[in-house]
Structure 1
Amino acid sequence: MTGHDFFAQPNLRRPAVSLDQVRVVAAKLFGVEGPIEELGSNQDRNYLVDSRFLLKVANPVFSDLELDAQDRALLRLAEAVPEMRVPQPQLSRDGEYVARFDADGVELRARLLTFVPGFPLFDSRHLAPVVVGRLGELAGRVVAGLADFQHPGLERLSQWDLRNARRVCEALAGFIADAGRAAAVRDAVAMACDRLDALTPELRVQAIHGDVTDDNVVCEREANGRPVLTGLIDFGDLGCGWIVGELATTCAAILHHEPERPLAILPAVRAFHRLVPLTDAEIEALWPAIIARTAVLVVSGEYQERIDPDNEYATQRTDYEWHSFEAAFSLPAEVGHAAIRDALAKPRPVPAISLGRLLPALDEPDVLDLTAQSETLQDGNWLDPEWRIASDSTVILRYGEARLTRTAIHSDRAPETVALGVEIFCPPGTPVTAPFAGVVRSDSVFSGDDADLHLQGVTFTRSPGERLEAGDLLGEVAPLPDLAMGRLFVQLCTVKGSTPPAFVTPETASAWMSVCPDPSPLIGLDCAAPAEPTSADVLGLRRQALAEVQENYYEDPPRIERGWRQHLTDLNGRTYLDMVNNVAAVGHAHPRLNAAVSRQWNLLNTNSRFNYRAIAEFSKRLADLLPDPLDTVFLVNSGSEAVDLALRLAQTFTQREDVVCVAEAYHGWTIGSDAISTSTADNPHALTTRPSWVHPVLAPNMFRGQFRGPDAAARYIENARQAIETGRPPAAFICEPFYGNAGGVPLPDGYLPAVYETVRAAGGLCVADEVQVGYGRLGHHFWGFEQQHVTPDIVTIAKAMGNGHPLGAVITRRDIAETFSRNGYFFSSAGGSPVSCTVGTTVLDIIADENLQQNAATIGDHLRRRVEQLAQDHPMIGAVHGMGLYMGVELVRDPHTLAPAPDETAAICERMLDLGVIVQPTGDLLNVLKIKPPMCLTIESADFFADMLARTLRDGW
């Protein structure tokens, strides 16, 4: 060995050197002058010189050969991986890479390297999966780049070489003050290193960086604000080591960013494997190596804090290192191994276990479905305790099922919904027999040769240590307090001596199920949940059959299968806060609406040419909601159809064709409604492909529009007046009373009164498109036009009317409506059907009876205050638009230039999905978070949204 032996010289306190001495060394030995700033280091001293160079003062224990090996590796990687920036060694005045100098009687050595600018990944609290993958890819590139690198300075006994992990932890664990933590580290290292020792002959060894971590990766930001890994620094741990050790080191660094999700490392594993394919032995070694690395980190950190307490760089990382260790140790190595194999498409078979009957006297039970698609779960009863849903019958709850009853609302992480066992509600006293030969380990564990049987809800009649044969009585089902039934949870685990969880997250379920196999044979019937198509399967099928232009939300969308009030739930039982579904105005799956629709379907559903009570009452109800003289209703299927009909009414009544509309607006997809839609987000060619009869005026956007400042309103009004008065007389002017497509931007005060007056003076009609903003969503007004103190000639509505049922309407004056007969009759297949009218009437009843308009005002005002408070700390929030529960949060890159942040907005929406919130971009620049939740939104939901947005803006996305 030619390098440092940590076990002979464990005291790696940083060398003592002053800034003045460093300044002299830089100028005299390397000819570099300028401002000097000390940077962090565990064992050396690092200084930034003149913002261009890094001067490293090496720890005296490291040999010249070790330092030379680092320099040569830097030169090699610069050539082998040119897309990755690494520091480059600079020659001293003497023509050497290493310069010697005296520091108060101690000979030290200095090296000058080019400085790699950027920020460390460590500063990013959250790492998106794509960023995690980039980190694994970088580690793979380094391993590939050093594959044939040889140097005598690589031979060293380093504390960071995982081949030495057991010795390092044995030597340093005593420096952990907390005895419980010290014992946990010793146990973890013993288990991990036993596994690694058995695999050592098959693990490849080569030159590795040894520290490709979030601390040593240098980044820049891409357009969406996420880190792009551009360089790698700090080659002080360079040496020979396991290839899998390089990956384990990288994975250990990822763990502290999201310790509650240890499998968040998998994108890095996949990316590394694509570049440097792992052998079966290395795949098996990876999780133990991660545990070993995190253990070395914590013992070394505690030790370094003792010997060098002034080293803030080391001491500030201690808590993060413990988080990484606890995350790694939270999964048994067998589970981690299974997860990695699954991620690399190399699943391992689950061993067969010979099982007898556990409950020989159990009658044939019913299987109770508790998934998100269950018909048993209705009207939010999945929030009740499971025993209440199971009632007093003998039922089985399935193994491997993601239970909706285990979900959590307002949760920033996926809940533990997947059952790793079978649950049985049966009469108390039901005998429980040993299903195989084994030993009673405790009052809840019976251990056989191949697996442990974990039982909850059983009163054991046998004592710990007692051996039983298959079929011997083990105990009986215990009664539940105040119930006529008992509750038995049955679980197998092949990791003997461990205590597996009863429920796990969907992300970890497959791996855990490899060590907790299906206990159905114990019961004598199939108790496993049937396989369901994954979200990716459904997305693939969708893309096969559905036109691609019918886009979907999100890059990797969850499979949403249930809604309740302001919540949506996916197939895995993860519940999200729905902040975008303005269609579901009164909330998802409203029981009153469900009952009314079911009742009407059972009675009658036909078209509006028949005479029935529902259409008469609903039409009158709608007309009564509008001010005089708006008293005549057309019922249609959608907002697009409503707008199209409104245009035809205006054109027929005025005997004109031309329509004045507003730029950056969306009104629908029919030929007529699309013609007046000017949003370039929905149609990039919108402004250049309008028919000659369509005349857009400037978007009256006081925040981002062409005119801003105190005279902006007057200038927007004048712009509209000129278009109306100087062109062909219009049939109509159409505008959303609240500027929806731009994110709920209010129109300037006085805009609609002035424009309506001009339109009417020219003989045209005024159309208010209330499809999105009407029906009480603004809270302080039932209709958007009320905020502008105007009465339109025609009003179009939809969306909220049907709460998801296809329903829309046009409401106008009778004289306007009657002229439509010039075009023949009017008919809409589902518009005005008995079911549609029942839906519409019931929605209006719910809005009134549950005070949803007032709720929109109260909760909307609260949410606005919360987001405006966030804007004080996050200048990225350029504006908070809207009113009530029709809001938009506009995100900008620069609060002065208002440069939009569309890429960041999209990425923020992806991160919010991770945190349990569904929100989407809107606006022509796609830089506005649209906030249009069901009107039953609560204070708790509003606060959860604001909290998760704050967390995203703080931690990154």
Structure 2
Amino acid sequence: MPSSAVPGFDFTTDDVPPLPLDEGWAQAVARERFGLDVRARSLGSQQDANFLLTRHDDDASGPAEVVAVLKASNPSTSATEVEAHDEAADLLARRCPDLRVATVLRGDDGAPLRQRVATPHGDVTVRLIRFLPGGTAVDHGLLRPALVARMGEVAARVDLALEGWEHPGLQRVLEWDPQHSLRGVELMASSLPADRREGVLATARAAWARVAAVADHLPQQAVHLDLTDDNLVLAEHPAPGGGRTLDGLIDISDLVCTWTVSELAITVSSLLHHDGVLHAGPSAVLPAVRAYHEVRPLSGAEVAALWPLVVLRAAVLVTSGSHQVEVDGGNTYASSRLEQNEWRIYEQATAVPCDVVTALLQHELGADAPPSSSPVSPTTTDAAAAVPAAPAAVEDLVADLADAAVLDLSWDSDALDGGAFLRPGLVAELAGAHLEQGARAVVTRWGEARLAGSPALSAQAPATVATGVEVWPARPLVLRAPWAGVLERTSGGLVLTAGEDRLVLALDDPDPALLTDPGAVGAGRALAELAAGERFAVQHLTGGAGGGVEAVPLLVSAAEAPGWLAHTADPALLLGLPAAPPRPSARDAARELLVRRDDGVLAEVQEHYYSGAVEPPRVERGWRHHLATTDGRVLLDMLNNVTVAGHAHPRIAAAASRQLARLNTNSRFHYAGVVELSERLASLLPDPLDTVFLVNSGSEATDLAIRLATVATGRPDVVAVREAYHGWTFASDAVSTSVADNPAALETRPAWVHTVEAPNAYRGRYRAARGDDLGRYAADAVAAVDALAAAGHPPAGFIAEAFYGNAGGMPLPDGYLEAVYAAVRRHGGLAIADEVQVGYGRLGSTFWGFQQQGVVPDVVAVAKSVGNGHPVGAVITTREVAARYRDAGYFFASTGGSPVSCAVAMAVLDVLQGEQLQENARVVGARLKGALTSLAERHRLIGAVHGEGLYLGVELVRDRETLEPAREETAALCDRLLDLGVVMQPTSDRQNVLKVKPPLCVDEAAVDFFVAAVDRALSEIA
């Protein structure tokens, strides 16, 4: 648009002079023009001047009162444009009442506090703007997916609020407006570093061509155009359930009428310099796009334009930033943003081909291809366009592979049992085995998410999804052209192009003498000769001649796979094999399963890990201390105290399989296993604990233990420790007082349950750090027991974890159980030790938790570790207490102590002893605790590391003096650890403790990896 037709600013003709106004000037203007006696602090800006105005007490010792933000608009911004900004802000405040908006403040007469002020740099409009506390997200290295989604949602709501609004101040030409972005890049390209200039120009022109192809189908309206991490304000307080959200927006100075989808493109681009996106790539911004689409659905044309607009925005950012630094070398704000943010944004925006990201977006949103969406590349040549299209019928690349063996490398393959998926060279090994068994060839599957070969202890999600197939022939082969086209040689093989179809042949060690010369070839022409057993890979790329995807990796990440696969086809047809049957990607299948779980027949309260901010991984395999997802990633399991011996232990699996093949029946039958297991369990405990009840779970075990106490004593009352969890059955739930599991736990417990204070030496009433006498916890508990007895309610029993697990793996104060047990027994009650989590050698130094207190309980409840995940638990008590149960009837559990459960439980004991897992817990646990403790020297968020052996808790606090729980940060840390390949969850009533309870087989390499991941994640969320 010619400058004469634009009433407002036009960056192509108008100068944007620097506005070097200082804090003294701002204070003087605030006093003389607005009657405010305040202090001013510069907030930094590229083109305007912004100052925070604060008022202090007379002695300046108290907290400052924030009055407003004083904004001086650049002289290039007209008064009409400023009026448009203010009117739009007021409109957004009215139409989005739940959002805080930085509107212009008004005087007593209702007029905006806005003045035109002369400066040595020209006349400027100065306004007082509402200050929004809470801070912005720009300096947060890591943005949780929920926050990313919220940014997209707010962008959509702002667009809907501004839809249909018009103002003369919108008639301006900004370099930030994507409609003029290519002109901006070309005009300021000389400011770019010489070694990057041509690349940025070429990238911007290619992206512009893609937008131009759909521009006629893009709706336009007034948009904020700067809803970035700089200008979206965080809520002052965490949202219900934890985590801060966004509830405010500032800075409407880029307001313009342009393509509506530009709003989302600019929001998305601002995410690209954050750690999570730098680590995961473009797929990390999908939550923002999905959230926007749910509020304001995107058309097919808008989806096609979105990522090209992101690329254009990135190109403008680095070009404009370089230009600003060139003309205003003293602008440290501009120079630091250029290096720390803007070049990062550009690198991420261009890291994956634009067409791939667009296809990924289309897949994610279910968007149809838009009208006229095929891009016209400015680099397309006439020669390329002249290549004939591939015929409808093609020749076979190989004469006869009809009986080839198809190699299954997915999580579901039986060949991956026993942890084989971690074995180096497994794929070639499996292919060789098939050839030895007589297969004429072995072929892998296109589009499959491979678990085979996926690395363990990897902080980066590996490339697992196949975009082609690999072939191992049993005899020499001649590969022939499936269609007529143009042949090229590459360093690793051949490429045959015909129209938009390309055949890519990758050879391990190509012999040039056995490859056909480059040039035009006819269908059926020999391309290469291969020896028997010589592996080759085949890809069928589509849409390549005029598109932007010149090469596709043979394996791509599951997150980006839909985008890459959209540019490929199954090469099986070229090999004379049937195409792979249609099936959803591993990620789509996992999402569909999650919908069936959350919205289907399962009760809503039957929760799962990662139910909030991130998509839970679908886990279908495990091995030792590793969990494998269906999209082929291997995760480190630092959480799973259920599988004490490790996942899929072959000895335990064999015991279960062997017994299932023989008998599994009601435990009331007479068979050896129930006796043998009971004898072995009793032998692990001190006298007089010699009698065993077998049950199915920890909840049943603690429930039965309570019932034993009440029946044996003839009393109903039970004493329990607060902040503990013991199970979900009636009795075990009644004594569970953890508000993390049940917020109403204390208010709803039955009258027969009495609680004593949690003996938390870190943050309880008595604290080790203050030098308090920790023995007072026991004295108070004893006093409570005595008071109950004096009131005519002597307790039937006292139940407690022998090592305080729910608080984060915290030892009880020395002598605690000895004193409380003695008090309970003095009044005729029983001492119950809940060893469900801590027992079975997890502490390393002792097999049972109660042994650390030097006591012997009357009843022990144990589960989890007993069956290594198989549902089996036990209650061990004295013969006398067990005999009293007859007073309440008889006991049996149909499957508690079944033949299979007994076989599994005995195999677990064999593994614990044979592999010295208790000793491993002691040695590796000490290494892990020492390393985690050392992290506290660098990360003040770590308040303490509790526990012993492999029963640890890392407590995170915002202040080491007040011990304010860092709940939001703990949740963010767990989410980030999943990105980095580690499974971890929070625990405790405050949900601010990392629950570090891995399988006891975890090794030193694994715990070192875990500590490094925690170190990295803490650095990013701080």
TM-score (norm 1): 0.91
- More deviation, 264-273/288-297: 264-273
Measure the CA separation in 2 of the matches of 1:291 and 1:806.
53
- Contact 1:871–1:878 (8 Å) recurs in 2: yes
- Contact 2:785–2:794 (8 Å) recurs in 1: no
Measure the CA separation in 2 of the matches of 1:720 and 1:426.
79
**Once the 2 structures are TM-superposed, how far is the Cα of residue 844 of structure 1 from its aligned partner?**
1.6
- Contact 1:92–1:99 (8 Å) recurs in 2: no
Query: What is residue 521 of structure 2 aligned with on the other side?
Result: 468
Query: What is residue 569 of structure 1 aligned with on the other side?
Result: 628
Measure the CA separation in 2 of the matches of 1:668 and 1:812.
19
Are 2:381 and 1:316 equivalent residues in the alignment?
no
Measure the CA separation in 1 of the matches of 2:657 and 2:309.
59
Q: Given the superposition, is the C-alpha separation of residues 535 and 594 from structure 1 closer, same or farther in structure 2, using an over 3 Å criterion?
A: same
1:559 corresponds, among 613, 618, 627, to 618
Q: Given the superposition, is the C-alpha separation of residues 431 and 237 from structure 1 closer, same or farther in structure 2, using an over 3 Å criterion?
A: same
Measure the CA separation in 2 of the matches of 1:271 and 1:728.
57
Q: Given the superposition, is the C-alpha separation of residues 231 and 741 from structure 1 closer, same or farther in structure 2, using an over 3 Å criterion?
A: closer
Query: What is residue 919 of structure 2 aligned with on the other side?
Result: 854
**Once the 2 structures are TM-superposed, how far is the Cα of residue 628 of structure 1 from its aligned partner?**
2.7
AA aligned to 1:158 is L
Query: What is residue 535 of structure 1 aligned with on the other side?
Result: 590
Alignment map for 1:814-893 (pairs within 5 Å): 814-820=879-885, 826-872=891-937, 874=939, 876-892=941-957
AA aligned to 1:447 is T
CA offset digits 1:131-154 (Å, max 9, x no partner): 222222333333334334444443
- Contact 2:808–2:953 (8 Å) recurs in 1: yes
Query: What is residue 59 of structure 2 aligned with on the other side?
Result: none
**For the aligned residues, what is the CA RMSD?**
3.2
Q: Given the superposition, is the C-alpha separation of residues 745 and 927 from structure 1 closer, same or farther in structure 2, using an over 3 Å criterion?
A: same
- More deviation, 606-615/795-804: 606-615
1:256 corresponds, among 246, 261, 273, to 273
- Contact 1:361–1:431 (8 Å) recurs in 2: no
Are 2:238 and 1:223 equivalent residues in the alignment?
yes
Query: What is residue 54 of structure 1 aligned with on the other side?
Result: 69
CA offset digits 1:148-185 (Å, max 9, x no partner): 44444433332222222222222333333252x32321
**Once the 2 structures are TM-superposed, how far is the Cα of residue 638 of structure 1 from its aligned partner?**
2.5
Are 2:512 and 1:486 equivalent residues in the alignment?
no
**Once the 2 structures are TM-superposed, how far is the Cα of residue 689 of structure 1 from its aligned partner?**
5.0
**Once the 2 structures are TM-superposed, how far is the Cα of residue 603 of structure 1 from its aligned partner?**
4.1
Equivalent residue of 1:581, what SS?
coil
- More deviation, 89-98/599-608: 89-98
Equivalent residue of 2:861, what SS?
strand
CA offset digits 1:303-340 (Å, max 9, x no partner): 22222222111111223222222222233332222222
Are 2:198 and 1:193 equivalent residues in the alignment?
no
AA aligned to 2:1003 is T
Q: Given the superposition, is the C-alpha separation of residues 754 and 515 from structure 1 closer, same or farther in structure 2, using an over 3 Å criterion?
A: same
Measure the CA separation in 1 of the matches of 2:68 and 2:967.
36
Measure the CA separation in 1 of the matches of 2:184 and 2:359.
28
Q: Given the superposition, is the C-alpha separation of residues 52 and 731 from structure 1 closer, same or farther in structure 2, using an over 3 Å criterion?
A: closer
- More deviation, 514-523/833-842: 833-842
AA aligned to 1:389 is L
Query: What is residue 581 of structure 1 aligned with on the other side?
Result: 640
Q: Given the superposition, is the C-alpha separation of residues 413 and 733 from structure 1 closer, same or farther in structure 2, using an over 3 Å criterion?
A: same
Are 2:604 and 1:548 equivalent residues in the alignment?
yes
- Contact 1:707–1:716 (8 Å) recurs in 2: no
Are 2:60 and 1:8 equivalent residues in the alignment?
no
Q: Given the superposition, is the C-alpha separation of residues 659 and 420 from structure 1 closer, same or farther in structure 2, using an over 3 Å criterion?
A: same
- Contact 1:2–1:65 (8 Å) recurs in 2: no
Are 2:520 and 1:520 equivalent residues in the alignment?
no
Equivalent residue of 1:56, what SS?
strand
AA aligned to 2:690 is D
Q: Given the superposition, is the C-alpha separation of residues 661 and 229 from structure 1 closer, same or farther in structure 2, using an over 3 Å criterion?
A: closer
Are 2:390 and 1:370 equivalent residues in the alignment?
no
Measure the CA separation in 1 of the matches of 2:244 and 2:743.
29
**Once the 2 structures are TM-superposed, how far is the Cα of residue 786 of structure 1 from its aligned partner?**
0.7
Q: State percent identity of aligned pairs.
A: 45
Query: What is residue 449 of structure 1 aligned with on the other side?
Result: 499
CA offset digits 1:488-545 (Å, max 9, x no partner): 3434232236011222222222222211122221122235365257223223333533
AA aligned to 1:204 is P
Measure the CA separation in 2 of the matches of 1:657 and 1:219.
51
AA aligned to 1:455 is L
- Contact 2:219–2:260 (8 Å) recurs in 1: yes
AA aligned to 1:46 is N
AA aligned to 1:804 is G
- More deviation, 574-583/705-714: 705-714
CA offset digits 1:373-403 (Å, max 9, x no partner): 2111022211222212322423221111111
- Contact 2:321–2:335 (8 Å) recurs in 1: yes
Measure the CA separation in 2 of the matches of 1:417 and 1:871.
36
CA offset digits 1:82-121 (Å, max 9, x no partner): 4341231668999994423242xx4342412224233122
- Contact 1:455–1:491 (8 Å) recurs in 2: no
Measure the CA separation in 2 of the matches of 1:801 and 1:679.
24
Equivalent residue of 1:330, what SS?
coil
- Contact 1:4–1:63 (8 Å) recurs in 2: yes
Measure the CA separation in 2 of the matches of 1:321 and 1:579.
37
Query: What is residue 785 of structure 1 aligned with on the other side?
Result: 850
2:355 corresponds, among 314, 328, 334, to 334
- More deviation, 597-606/846-855: 597-606
Measure the CA separation in 2 of the matches of 1:17 and 1:618.
82
CA offset digits 1:640-677 (Å, max 9, x no partner): 33334434444554455544333333333344434444
1:270 corresponds, among 278, 290, 293, to 290
Measure the CA separation in 2 of the matches of 1:685 and 1:71.
47
Structure 1 spans left out of the alignment, 5+ residues = none
TM-score (norm 2): 0.86
Query: What is residue 800 of structure 2 aligned with on the other side?
Result: 735
Query: What is residue 304 of structure 1 aligned with on the other side?
Result: 324
1:435 corresponds, among 458, 476, 482, to 482
CA offset digits 1:888-939 (Å, max 9, x no partner): 3344555445454556544544444344332233334444332222112233
Alignment map for 1:676-695 (pairs within 5 Å): 676-688=735-747, 690=749, 693-695=752-754
Alignment map for 1:736-775 (pairs within 5 Å): 736-775=801-840
Equivalent residue of 1:545, what SS?
coil
2:398 corresponds, among 350, 359, 367, to 359
Measure the CA separation in 2 of the matches of 1:110 and 1:174.
31
AA aligned to 1:703 is Y
Equivalent residue of 1:734, what SS?
strand
Measure the CA separation in 2 of the matches of 1:423 and 1:73.
58
- More deviation, 31-40/186-195: 31-40
2:432 corresponds, among 380, 383, 391, to 391
AA aligned to 2:428 is W
CA offset digits 1:677-722 (Å, max 9, x no partner): 4444444554455555544333333334455532533433433441
